[in-house]
Structure 1
């Protein structure tokens, strides 16, 4: 049960009035808002609107697609006529996108909307904690805007009051300074929540975001040749120690990795630092996409038979690695798989023959219905014929919430303690205070709980692979590959990038048309 709930009030105007647009509709909305009695506007409702703005880009949709399908971890193959979308998905995986790709604009708009909605909270006499929460949401979405597009448009001062004024556009160093200053100023006023209320911005969420800023700072400034200043790495290590010393988090014990993603992860997880609120009957995002985008039509529930991972990525997992897939026993599983003790795998990477969780019999494909439903290692970015329904291994990280109809209760994980430890180990390897042995111990603490053998030595290469295993499909793979200098390399169904321009996405052409302060990124 969630400890904190709010009335969700959607202000349509704030969803449209993004940080970069200057349309007539926005001007009319601003005028109406100015005429309203500001005293009648509830900052708590505006704050929930800001939190809810995060759902669309994060919950396996826009931002997630740009961070994962652009990598070796995920692919959205075209299956005959399905999943074509004018090549939009293929372009993300192949790194052949341009400034008119729908994902470029939709993600830019959604992140911009969240930045605006968070800033708007500050205009209506919020409490100190509400101010801090709103500024955290703004800092988080600014960080992602910087990561994806290399710049951050923001409305403040006159441009917040008058949409005829184009928003300022922060370049990397200015954006980093802004985000760091924001987070340092708000930590005192943020609550000291742990995993059971991780859906409320909190002190350790701010520390984790600061860790990511300092770890990626040199990459954001020079993506082709990133540097890692010792003082930045030491900031990462200091913040990690502060999070550990708060004594609010422990690594999930063996067999409980998927507690972090369960329908009741707000009560079960010992790792979650910041999440997005999902509760049936109240509010939330479309966490069903974690199942729908990968599941076959004949699975329970039936999905859209779309996305998959690649066999080279799957092969990073050793047999017996809990993260690769297990039968996970959880109360919201109301199928016979649990009640009749079938115990078929229900989370992780689905490969090979799939089974009916009512009869425990092998599932068959839809067309032809005589073909066994066997998910194969082999997959191409364009599939046809007999492979349409079966090509590709399917990852499912969030255990499906069968106990409810409609909005599922799994909170979406943004920050997790295991990531904190992996970032701390990386900072040590990159010149921060600490020994190689200490970094190795941090990573082995994770590996022992996941049921795999310990490393005898830690290198940047095997650390990157461990991040791939621990954080798969959580929305960090692209950022990791760029920071480790691997994003331009070839992998399955993607040739090596001929141009480093792909280290940053293009500014959407629609946004350049309405904001004269935006300049297209080099090469686009």
Structure 2
């Protein structure tokens, strides 16, 4: 039995990231443990676990789509025949998804694949540091699964893979993640001296902050509560991360640039991208961050899809640098600004661009879920948060897998905002306001005179737009079921996503969420 379990674990590991193969075929292998040891190493398994971050997070149809398209920050209009995709983007924005929604299913599967890849590292006698990194990645995948579905399939290292995994409830998951993260911190490398794409002590503390801040929402999404002790934990971990040496970037968009690994003083945890990495993880999705929103006739040429909503855009002051403007390398090579693109667009020579129908390429404030008119290619304010990489490819925008913008998971600005929220929720309004105004001053925005939960939620939106936190924030602040542009009604069931039908079929320990 031990030999069979080992072969199953090895085959599943290979099939879930290292190669494309059939698990059924590999289970028939006669590979022995000593032979396997010469084929794969703990280092390669850990690398596979890091590579497994790509699908659930970088791929925009996975957790990003579920966490942004379902909010007031993003919309994916169908433009005649473009971007229909059987209505999956419209369903996310309107909250009309079902248990058979393809992106919900894909995200669920990819998060569990990440959890498996991380857990599998621990089957092969890793060092304390390797085990700590793997356990961090496992905790991250569990956190996102809990956030989206409220229950987490889970296996311990060495579990029989022929049996369905057990399923952890919210409190069990929270307790496990907190215990794990606290246990691994001493074995992780420090913060600022470690590449942001490697699990580190500050990243673990950041994730602990998220858990403590969202605990009450995870346990009762309809009426979250906020324990004073949990809020103090958020504050304490924020102070420890600050002590590690992070600071706000001078240029907001440096955090997302092709060389953000060198420029950013904020990025705490990222996924590395760049030349050569595509050969080990089937590419990266950095380039999709500009492709999925830009028009076909812009440079770089885009897929003319996603947009933001005018109500959200209007929440920014004109002088707020987060709203965007010229960015030296990008603007010089293409004429593009970064941030929000609204109105007439130009090429690098200052020539006004047109769409494919001959209209002036002037992005409008107005947008509909289904666009059919002559102006369907220009509706919607576009978002360009990751400046296109014009350097890796010698002056031509990188449209493929070698774009070097590292994907950002955790940033120091969020640390400051989480601390401000914890202060505010424990009645410390003055210190909370100081935190927020320090951030706003760095971004060129005027100081707020007062701070309440509504203004803090708005500030989180302005700082963290399109970074995958908006759905979670709206739930925690009790706003996710409110109407907004292009969403007029809702149902409390939508505070959780449905367990995919395919997952229910293979794991009897899962139960469908209420209302589906």
**1:28-43 residue pairs with structure 2 within 5 A?**
28-29=25-26, 32=29, 35-37=32-34, 38-40=36-38, 41-43=40-42
* Superposed CA offset, 1:180-206 (max 9, x none): 111001000000132761000000000
The change in CA–CA distance for 1:130 and 1:30 in structure 2 (over 3 A counts) is farther
Distance in 2 between the 1:296 and 1:15 partners?
Answer: 38
Of 455, 459, 471, the residue aligned with 2:452 is 459
| Alignment length (residue pairs) | 490
Distance in 1 between the 2:248 and 2:375 partners?
Answer: 39
Asked if 1:282 corresponds to 2:272, the answer is no
For 1:519, the equivalent position in structure 2 comes to 511
Distance in 2 between the 1:233 and 1:193 partners?
Answer: 23
For 2:440, the equivalent position in structure 1 comes to 447
Structure 1 portions without partners, runs of 5+: 1-10, 19-23
DSSP-derived class of the 1:226 partner: coil
**1:359-508 residue pairs with structure 2 within 5 A?**
359-367=349-357, 369=358, 371-403=359-391, 404=393, 405=398, 406=400, 407-431=402-426, 435-497=428-490, 499-508=491-500
For 2:327, the equivalent position in structure 1 comes to 328
Distance in 1 between the 2:157 and 2:266 partners?
Answer: 38
* CA apart distance, 1:27: 5.5
* Superposed CA offset, 1:388-409 (max 9, x none): 1001000011110012253100
Contact 1:154 1:169 in 2 (8 A): yes
Q: Which moved more, 1:31-40 or 1:52-61?
A: 31-40
The change in CA–CA distance for 1:72 and 1:124 in structure 2 (over 3 A counts) is same
* CA apart distance, 1:245: 1.5
The change in CA–CA distance for 1:195 and 1:277 in structure 2 (over 3 A counts) is farther
State the TM-score, normalized to the length of structure 1: 0.90
For 2:264, the equivalent position in structure 1 comes to 269
Contact 1:75 1:307 in 2 (8 A): yes
Of 248, 255, 261, the residue aligned with 1:260 is 255
The change in CA–CA distance for 1:124 and 1:352 in structure 2 (over 3 A counts) is same
Asked if 1:116 corresponds to 2:116, the answer is yes
DSSP-derived class of the 1:437 partner: helix
Contact 2:11 2:26 in 1 (8 A): no
Contact 2:352 2:361 in 1 (8 A): yes
DSSP-derived class of the 2:311 partner: helix
Q: CA RMSD in A?
A: 1.8
For 2:6, the equivalent position in structure 1 comes to none
Distance in 1 between the 2:433 and 2:149 partners?
Answer: 34
For 2:185, the equivalent position in structure 1 comes to 187
Contact 1:481 1:487 in 2 (8 A): yes
Of 237, 240, 245, the residue aligned with 2:238 is 240
Asked if 1:151 corresponds to 2:151, the answer is yes
Distance in 2 between the 1:195 and 1:487 partners?
Answer: 38
For 2:128, the equivalent position in structure 1 comes to 128
For 1:338, the equivalent position in structure 2 comes to 332
Contact 1:195 1:249 in 2 (8 A): no
For 1:5, the equivalent position in structure 2 comes to none
**1:69-80 residue pairs with structure 2 within 5 A?**
69-80=69-80
Structure 2 portions without partners, runs of 5+: 1-9
Asked if 1:251 corresponds to 2:242, the answer is no
Contact 1:15 1:117 in 2 (8 A): no
* CA apart distance, 1:17: 5.2
State the TM-score, normalized to the length of structure 2: 0.92
